[in-house]
């Protein structure tokens, strides 16, 4: 097989359209965003005042805490659910597994707002769960939709397909021989999980977590549909921009949020890249 | 690919059993809202329970009337985005897949950068940098293009760099096929599946995009998800369900097709 060539004059221009797009539509706007957040009033000097406001404002600090809590919690729950599920889906035999794979991919194509609406249909004031409970007990309970728990369900819903997808790509790293050996030596299923399966999946768990955390931090649609009081950072950005007309403040918040998501994705996500790059060459979900 | 399970085993494998339970329960939870949407959308008065007051098509008819202009707009936008993705993304994917040059890793990482940036930050940056371009929809196009490009490029790099394809091309070349002939009759048929997957992916991602659109839309240039959102916030639950159903009827078949083509992708929530 021939080795990759070096590009000639003609070939090196192939990426020109892409580079122009990224420079003009992404990097330049981000520079403007940073500049506006550092220099809120035109003509005056640079200042960190807006960032200081974020650090001293209890509202904004609370929002960052809330975002971290819901992202971490939904990520952990998604991992607990999806690792066993992925092992089963990638196992041998049966049409059932193929259908499961499709079923667990469907939530990927749903926008966050639709996921929020699903939670409302299930746990809203006239949701199906409260209605059923009312029929049995006479009282409407579990009206969770607009609480923290309803939001957590929404976040979990969009994390599941992402985590399943990354995990499915890594299941082949588990050695069935080790599982069999562990079981022959009398290990319980839980012990097999902790001592054989999870260590083998470590790199995938790291990429899945980084993807899932970053998605959670940046999620806007689900929160916009469901939040009544549990404020996350994307909601504060939207409020600062559209309701309070403070674009520079919204810019400062956006940059901080971006810093978090890019660190999670490119920093944490790449800790294990060297080891898994070859395997991931065909499944790029780790991003 | 899969964990190889000895099939001769007599007792059931507990790891597989636990996995089966988790997988089926999760799939059920993921899918349950879809029939629920159908039920609510066809119920006359949902507040009184399942099909209270009888089955009706009224919400669906009204819902479709309400959103069809936005659905057409979204579809047109998605097709435009697809064309731009092909023009911008395909040459880049080819360069990354086929050539070795200093900065190749960097270019490859650059194509993934938009995934890491929350849509809301991207939209805000675009508005602040080019306020004059919001009114005519150019920013909406820019936002959707940035959002979909990583997935388009990502879906094509691996198949384009596949060793088997390179071999086939080499064979065709030794048989005297020129560059154009090789592209049309060797490369294109081989990556057809990946191209189709990338196409479906870009169209569904763009049609469902909300985070960027919410900040960049104008009353006359309003994508479908923005209209969906206002139905969720202000409308009757039955009509919101009906509109959602129209949307699902489009995306779910697309997703199933995508999974069958072997492509999965990860958008923002």
Give per-residue pLDDT as tens, A183-214. Answer: 889 888 888 888 889 999 998 999 999 999 99
- Note whether B3 contacts A176, CB cutoff 8 Å: yes
Share of chain A above pLDDT 70, in %: 92
pTM, rounded to two decimals:
0.87
Q: Which residue does chain B place closest to A191, by CA atoms?
A: B15
A93 phi-psi bin (left φ>0, alpha ψ -120 to 50, beta other): left
Number of H helices, E strands in chain B: 12, 0
Report the range of poorest mean pLDDT among A27-41, A198-212, A263-277, B229-243.
Answer: A263-277
Tokens describing residue A156: 């979990």
User: Residue B246 corresponds to which tokens in the numbers above?
Assistant: 């129209």
| Cβ contacts of B47-51, under 8 Å, gap ≥ 24 | B47/A126, B47/B237, B49/A131, B49/A135
CA-CA distance, A203 to A199, in Å (whole number)? 9
Mean pLDDT of A7-14: 77
What are the structural domains, with CATH classification, of chain B?
17-56 (no CATH), 60-261 (1.10.3720.10)
How far apart are the C-alpha atoms of A257 and B182, rounded to whole Å? 46
Query: How far apart are the C-alpha atoms of B32 and B36, rounded to whole Å?
Result: 7
Judged against a pLDDT cut of 70, whether residue A265 lies above it is answered with yes
Q: Which residues pair with B55 in a beta bridge?
A: B43
- Note the pLDDT of residue B269: 61
pLDDT reported for residue A255:
94
Domain A17-38+50-286 CATH assignment equals 1.10.3720.10: yes
> What tens digit of pLDDT does each residue of B116-147 get?
899 999 999 999 999 988 889 999 999 999 99
- For an interface test with B, the pick among A15, A90, A98 (most B C-beta atoms closer than 10 Å) comes out as A15
> Is pLDDT of A253 > 90?
yes
Cβ-contact B208, A111 below 8 angstroms? yes
> Which range (A92-96, A181-185, B193-197) has the least confidence?
A92-96
Mean pLDDT for all residues in chain B: 86
Tens of pLDDT, residue by residue over B147-159, are: 999 999 988 988 8
Instruction: Please judge whether A92 and B4 are an interchain contact, meaning their C-beta atoms are less than 8 angstroms apart.
Output: yes
**pLDDT at res. A4:** 62
Question: Which of residues 63 through 122 in chain B touch A, CB cutoff 8 A?
Answer: 87-89, 91-92, 94-95, 98-101, 107, 109-122
Distance CA A125, CA B163 (A): 56
Binning pLDDT at 50, 70 and 90, where does residue B9 land? very low
Which 151-170 residues of chain B touch chain A by CB within 8 A?
Answer: 153-154, 157-158, 163, 166-167, 170
Q: Find residues 8-37 of chain A whose CB sits inside 8 Å of chain B.
A: 11-12, 14-15, 17-19, 21-22, 25-26, 28-30, 32-33, 36
What pLDDT is stored for residue A280 in this prediction? 43
**A78 at interface of B, judged by CB pairs closer than 8 A:** no
What sign results for the dihedral spanned by CA atoms A24, A30, A31, A35?
Answer: positive
Helix (H/G/I), strand (E/B), else coil: A282: coil
Stretch A135-152: mean pLDDT? 87
Q: CB distance A106–B208 less than 8 Å?
A: no
Tell me how many degrees the CA angle A103-B207-B80 measures, rounded to the nearest 5. Answer: 135
Cα(B175)–Cα(B180) distance, rounded to whole angstroms? 14
């Amino acid at each position: 097989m021939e080795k990759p060539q070096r590009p000639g004059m003609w070939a090196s221009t192939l990426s020109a359209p892409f580079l122009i797009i990224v420079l003009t539509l992404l990097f330049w706007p981000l520079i403007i965003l940073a500049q506006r957040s550092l220099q809120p009033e035109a003509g005056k000097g640079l200042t960190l005042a807006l960032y200081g406001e974020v650090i001293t404002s209890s509202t904004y600090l609370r929002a960052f805490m809330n975002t971290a809590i819901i992202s971490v919690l939904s990520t952990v729950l998604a991992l607990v659910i999806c690792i066993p599920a992925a092992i089963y889906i990638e196992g041998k035999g049966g049409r059932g597994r193929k259908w499961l794979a499709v079923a667990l991919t469907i939530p990927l194509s749903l926008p966050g707002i639709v996921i929020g609406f699903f939670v409302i249909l299930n746990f809203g004031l006239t949701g199906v769960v409260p209605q059923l409970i009312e029929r049995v007990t006479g009282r409407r309970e579990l009206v969770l939709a607009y609480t923290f728990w309803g939001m957590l369900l929404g976040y979990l819903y969009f994390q599941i397909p992402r985590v399943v997808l990354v995990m499915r790509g890594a299941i082949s790293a588990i050695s069935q021989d080790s599982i069999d050996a562990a079981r022959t030596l009398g290990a319980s299923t839980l012990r097999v999980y902790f001592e054989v399966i999870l260590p083998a999946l470590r790199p995938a768990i790291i990429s899945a977590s980084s993807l899932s955390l970053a998605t959670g931090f940046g999620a806007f649609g689900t929160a916009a549909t469901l939040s009544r009081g549990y404020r996350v950072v994307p909601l504060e950005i939207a409020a600062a921009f559209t309701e309070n007309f403070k674009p520079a403040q919204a810019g400062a918040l956006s940059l901080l949020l971006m810093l978090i998501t890019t660190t999670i994705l490119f920093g944490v996500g790449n800790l294990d890249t060297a080891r898994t790059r070859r395997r991931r060459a065909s499944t790029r979900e780790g991003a | 690919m899969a964990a190889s399970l000895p099939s001769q085993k007599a007792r059931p494998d507990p790891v597989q059993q636990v996995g089966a339970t988790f997988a089926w329960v999760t799939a059920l939870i993921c899918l349950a809202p879809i029939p629920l949407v159908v039920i609510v959308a066809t119920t006359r008065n949902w507040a009184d329970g399942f099909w209270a007051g009888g089955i009706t098509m009224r919400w669906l008819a009204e819902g479709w009337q309400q959103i069809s202009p936005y659905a057409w707009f979204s579809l047109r936008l998605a097709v435009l985005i697809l064309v731009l993705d092909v023009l911008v993304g395909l040459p880049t994917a080819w360069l990354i897949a086929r050539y070795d040059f200093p900065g190749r890793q960097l270019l490859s990482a650059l194509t993934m950068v938009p995934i890491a940036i929350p849509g809301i930050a991207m939209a805000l940056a675009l508005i602040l940098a080019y306020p004059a371009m919001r009114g005519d929809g150019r920013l909406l196009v820019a936002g959707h293009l940035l959002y979909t490009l990583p997935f388009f490029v990502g879906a094509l790099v691996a198949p384009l760099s596949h060793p088997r394809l390179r071999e086939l091309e080499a064979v065709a070349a030794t048989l005297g096929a020129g560059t154009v002939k090789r592209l049309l009759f060797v490369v294109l048929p081989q990556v057809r599946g990946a191209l189709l997957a990338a196409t479906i992916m870009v169209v569904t991602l763009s049609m469902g995009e909300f985070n960027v659109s919410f900040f960049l839309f104008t009353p006359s240039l309003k994508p479908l998800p923005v209209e969906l959102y206002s139905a969720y916030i202000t409308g009757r639950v039955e009509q919101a369900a009906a509109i959602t159903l129209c949307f699902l009827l489009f995306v779910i078949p697309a997703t199933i097709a995508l999974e069958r083509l072997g492509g999965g992708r990860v958008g923002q929530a």
